[in-house]
Amino acid sequence: MLIKIYPENPNQKAIEQAVEVLKKGGIIIYPTDTVYGLGCDITNHKAIERICKIRGIKPEKANFSFICSDLRHISDYIKPIDTTVFRILKKALPGPFTFILNANNNVPKLLSSNKKTVGIRVPDNNIARQIVAALGNPIISTSIKDDDEVIEYSTDPELIHEKYEDLVDVVIDGGYGDNEASTVIDCTNGGFEIIREGKGNIDEYL
């Protein structure tokens, strides 16, 4: 199913439709402030396994991000962080960053066989944040990759729908996506080490 939602003024009925799908263990493809994401409810193990199957990866090897609506959710899944790191997160988010932080015991057991860390995202996209807020807990997510050798990420929601309609329950058309992923920053040692250069420039917030 393809649902059109406008990011400037998301239709609440459509948001609720996507949330219902997630609550029932479904998988959605949705827009962020960077690339389109493939996501499910963090509490649903079967849905996480489905995403792993689609991506051809084992759950314990997966590097998923936790998509949060704001910073309130993050303390549920991470160990306490120092004031400096929290201050930077508060300034930089919502934004095109994935912050790697030390995970606590609430991370789904399916993912945490060797997982000591977790990637936290609060995208600057109303659709993604409103879905997570209405769901009441984070979405576990991975980027939609493209088979094209030139373009790394799929940007056209209609083409994404054509490719994934038999694999996922809902594709949300929130307009063209970006072709640049988030900047990944490791904060596990209290500093800010860039693991992957992406759309966000963390220097603006340090």
- What average pLDDT does the chain have? 89
Q: How many CB atoms lie within 10 A of CB 43?
A: 16
Q: How far is CA 137 from the centre of its chain?
A: 12
Residue 122 pLDDT level (bands cut at 50, 70, 90) = very high
pLDDT tens figures, 156-192: 899 999 999 999 999 999 999 888 899 999 999 989 9
- What pLDDT is attached to residue 130? 96
For tokens 């997570």, the residue is 132
pLDDT tens figures, 16-39: 999 999 999 999 999 999 999 999
- What pLDDT is attached to residue 120? 94
- What pLDDT is attached to residue 56? 87
- Residue 90 clears pLDDT 90, i.e. is over it: yes
Helix then strand then coil, % of the chain, to nearest 5 = 30, 20, 50
